[in-house]
Amino acid sequence: MISDVINLSEIKKVDPVFGQLSFDNHEQVVFCNDKDTGLKAIIGIHNTVLGPALGGTRMWQYNNEWEALNDALRLSRGMTFKAAITGLNLGGGKAVIIGDAKTQKTPELMKRFGEFVHSLSGKYITAEDVGMETADMDLVREVTPYVTGISESKGGAGNPSPITAYGVFMGMKAAAKYKFGTDILEDKKVFVQGIGHVGESLVEHLVNEGAHVVIADINEERLQDVSKKYGASIYRGDDIYSESMDIYAPCALGATVNDDTVYKIKAQVIAGAANNQLATEERHGLILQERGIVYAPDFLINAGGIINVYAELEGYDKQEIIRKTENIYNTTLEILSNAETNEITANHAALNIAKNRIETRKKENSK
């Protein structure tokens, strides 16, 4: 008997794609493989009612393919609602490349990935995410026009991260206003978890405002650099959530508000750049609300980056980008009071508005 015979009854227990918990009526999921460059990628296209699905590409060393698929599904769904609530005519998509960006990312691999993006004829437009640089998008641009976040010298809007950080700062200020009655962050103790492209820029805004900033990262070199540059304190413990702080800013990866952390969190406000901060949206959002912790929905306040790359498609200027990003302050305040009035979580309130916009457009499109 052959040992690797597939046991069908096992396989049927969880359907591989449509049966995943994170599958939410995604329109298309594309698996990309190229033996020569070692490329293994998954492109998730969640919804294209409002426009082409735009979302960054993440390169990450996932433990297994399920994790990668789950990330592509969750992240692409988040992009749909981010674009919708920000008032952009874009759908939601996201790509993940399985591998270590430091050692496995080559120009050939990026271009091959670009060819896969191109094969979708514009239904998906890529950009940068974790593990990607503007230079990588420039490589993708060599083989397809369906890419944003390319260098300013090549006609793009450049690295979206500083604008993302500015939007997060605006959302954080609004959440602080809601919780503390003032949006001035001077002397507030803010923990920034993840000081990469966005996190570092956020640290700069916070330090300029006089906040007491504490930084955490798994990259020791970055900790040293950012601490030296801005005078931020370094956190070296292994339980950041139990630390006493005013504001927690998750700027690394998602799902840090989960069953293990949600009851420990001492912060009174959560506002950060990471996508999908709530491991389970409704459940963890509700627990935060019951504990009196104000949560600024991630897909609402980290939209600066998508506003920046959208400018590349629509051709609007830096001033308009800044104006739209500053508006995140007003939208966050509106969502927080909407949630209170309707006795729902802030995440739920933001999702309702985003979903209504998509439904309205869907009806208009079918007329």
If one asks whether residue 227 binds ligand NAD (CB under 6 A), the answer comes out as no
CB of 139 to ligand NAD, least distance (A): 18
289 or 302: CB nearest ligand NAD: 302
If one asks whether residue 137 binds ligand NAD (CB under 6 A), the answer comes out as no
Long-range contacts of 143-146 (CB under 8 A, 24+ apart): 143/111, 143/114, 143/115, 143/118, 144/114, 144/115, 144/117, 144/118, 146/52, 146/117, 146/118, 146/120, 146/121, 146/122
Q: Which stretch binds ligand NAD (CB under 6 A): 34-42, 159-167, 205-213, 227-235?
A: 159-167
If one asks whether residue 160 binds ligand NAD (CB under 6 A), the answer comes out as yes
If one asks whether residue 198 binds ligand NAD (CB under 6 A), the answer comes out as yes
CB of 46 to ligand NAD, least distance (A): 15
If one asks whether residue 325 binds ligand NAD (CB under 6 A), the answer comes out as no
Pair 278, 285: CB distance under 8 Å: yes
CB of 276 to ligand NAD, least distance (A): 8
242 or 337: CB nearest ligand NAD: 242
Q: How far is residue 254's CA from residue 263's CA, in Å, rounded to a whole number?
A: 17
If one asks whether residue 216 binds ligand NAD (CB under 6 A), the answer comes out as yes
Q: Which of residues 231-260 bind ligand NAD (CB under 6 A)?
A: 251-253
The pair of structure tokens assigned to 76 is 């692409």
Pair 345, 339: CB distance under 8 Å: yes
Q: Tell which residue, 331, 162, 183, has the closest CA to residue 269.
A: 183
User: Strand 269-270 and strand 247-250: pairing?
Assistant: parallel
Query: Which residues on adjacent β-strands are paired with residue 53?
Result: 91, 124
x-marked contacts with ligand NAD along 284-313 as a string, rule CB under 6 A: ------------------x--x--------
Coil, strand, or helix at residue 222? helix
Question: What sections of 87-196 are H helices per DSSP?
Answer: 107-118, 134-141, 161-180
User: Strand 53-54 and strand 91-98: pairing?
Assistant: parallel
The one among 50, 109, 273, 335 contacting ligand NAD by CB under 6 A: 273
Residue 179 catalytic? no
The pair of structure tokens assigned to 340 is 């209170």
List of residues 6+ apart from 120 with CB closer than 8 A: 30, 43, 45, 146
**Candidate list 40, 94, 173, 324, residue with the active-site label:** 94
48 or 302: CB nearest ligand NAD: 302
List of residues 6+ apart from 245 with CB closer than 8 A: 189, 190, 191, 214, 266, 267
CB of 195 to ligand NAD, least distance (A): 6
The one among 48, 57, 164, 332 contacting ligand NAD by CB under 6 A: 164
If one asks whether residue 129 binds ligand NAD (CB under 6 A), the answer comes out as yes
CB of 345 to ligand NAD, least distance (A): 20
189 or 222: CB nearest ligand NAD: 222
Q: Which stretch binds ligand NAD (CB under 6 A): 136-144, 173-181, 197-205, 286-294?
A: 197-205
Burial of 297 (0-12, 13-18, 19+ CB in 10 A): buried
Which residues of the shown chain bind ligand NAD in the complex (CB under 6 A)?
A: 129-131, 160-161, 164, 193-199, 216-219, 222, 251-253, 273-275, 302, 305
Question: Which residues does the annotation mark as catalytic?
Answer: 94
